[in-house]
Copies of this chain bind each other. A is one copy, B any other.
Amino acid sequence: MGLAKTEMFTDEQNEISLFAKVFGHPARVAILEHLFKIDRCVCGDLVNEIGLAQPTISQHLKELKHLGLIKGNVVGTSVCYCINTENWVKMKEVMIRFLDKDIPKPDCC
């Protein structure tokens, strides 16, 4: 059905999957890496930087913003985007808690 049955999972499992899903496209990874690299806020040169069409970039930005990982401020006719550092740190804690489990004995089967 193309629809994840979220009701049968814990809130944490659903949260992890939502964060992971937004990282599940290289364009969004590239947008985030560029925002980190230039440190200060950014506007629409993401289109030039990445090479996808403007509506496509805009759509990816929307998803990142919707999850709270970036912020966008209107500056004149353009929009300045930047990392939402507070939420990024929270997300990082959730994801690292998931990734950083005790490793079981090797060759368990």
In the complex, how many angstroms separate the beta carbon of A78 from the nearest chain B beta carbon? Answer: 11
Size bin of chain A's contact surface = 35 or more
For A59, what are the chain B residues with a Cβ–Cβ distance below 8 Å?
none
Contact check: which of B24, B82, B95 meets A109 at CB < 8 Å? B82
Contact check: which of B9, B21, B86 meets A21 at CB < 8 Å? B21
Give A94-109 as 1s and 0s: 1 = Cβ < 8 Å from B's Cβ atoms: 0110111111111011
Asked if A109 and B21 make an inter-chain contact with CB atoms under 8 angstroms apart, the answer reads no
**A41-B109, A106-B86, A109-B80 given; A26·B36 CB < 8 A:** no
- Indicate if A5 sits at the interface (CB-CB under 8 A): yes
Q: What are 25 A-B pairs with beta-carbon distances under 8 A?
A: A4-B27, A5-B27, A6-B26, A8-B52, A9-B27, A10-B30, A13-B30, A16-B26, A17-B24, A17-B25, A20-B20, A20-B23, A20-B24, A21-B24, A21-B25, A23-B24, A40-B108, A40-B109, A75-B109, A82-B109, A83-B108, A91-B99, A92-B100, A95-B99, A96-B96
